[in-house]
Amino acid sequence: MGAAGSSALARLGLSALQPRPRWLGVAALGLAAVALGAVAWRRARPRRRRRLQQVGTVAELWIYPVKSCKGVSVKAAECTALGLRSGHLRDRFWLVIKEGGHMVTARQEPRLVLVSTTYEDDCLILRAPGMDQLVLPSKPRSSNKIHDCRVFGLDIQGRDCGDEAAQWFTNFLKTEAFRLVQFEKNMKGRPSSKIFPSVGQKYQVAYPDCSPIMVLSEASLADLNTRLEKKVKMDNFRPNIVVAGSNAFEEVSASRRH
């Protein structure tokens, strides 16, 4: 087999007996290569995945660009680390603030839920009763001021959307001076460890209450309404993903598993 063949077998952990016909040495090397290849393939191939089981279907997708204002129904969206995205529409990337940067939501100003949102020609268009529409570019000018804001007691930034937007919300709400800010993806979100200290998963949140994406099933809503005198609707909870065909509260158990 020669010195080279013996050396190759030695490296493979096999011994060679002398003398042997040349073809036997070649065959031994070939079998060794096949054996090692089979072992490598077994280790490299992915483990068989568990069979997927359908637990429901996506019935609706919603993006709420301005926190506490009406949502936009979309047919498709990308799940990003900071929430749903459809084109330049991002979920809860715009926020109304008052002096000192403190957030303003429908909890403080219920009329915010009357503000509707559409997206046309790379612009965000806001409409409200008794108001002319407000047309905002998808991105404010980079020269606009960056505000230090507070959302549920946590610091976060936002770029000012200009005086026209500020005056529009101030005129509509009629209680005090307001401004509109936009979160930018290079800004630092609120860390989950400060929102839910007991949760092991690490993620960041822009202006949503507590998580980048909210999922709610039709079955959970139906179950809740059996316990209520005054029935509630899906948009009372403003979910991003509405699930049909699942059991009640199955979306909660699924999130805990993952």
Rounded mean pLDDT, 135-157: 95
Mean pLDDT of 131-160: 95
Confidence of residue 129 (pLDDT cuts 50, 70, 90): very high
**22-53, pLDDT tens digit by residue?**
433 433 334 344 344 444 445 555 666 677 77
Q: Which of 11-25, 46-60, 126-140 has the highest mean pLDDT?
A: 126-140
The number of angstroms, rounded, from the C-alpha of 206 to the middle of its chain's C-alpha atoms is: 11
Residue 190 tokens read as 């609120």
Statement: residue 155 has pLDDT above 90: yes
According to the model, what pLDDT value does residue 251 have? 83
Q: Shortest CA distance to 240 belongs to which of 128, 76, 115?
A: 76
Whether 12 shows a pLDDT value over 80: the answer reads no
Q: Would you list the domain boundaries of the chain?
A: 2-44, 64-207
Q: Is the CB of residue 183 less than 8 Å from the CB of residue 158?
A: yes
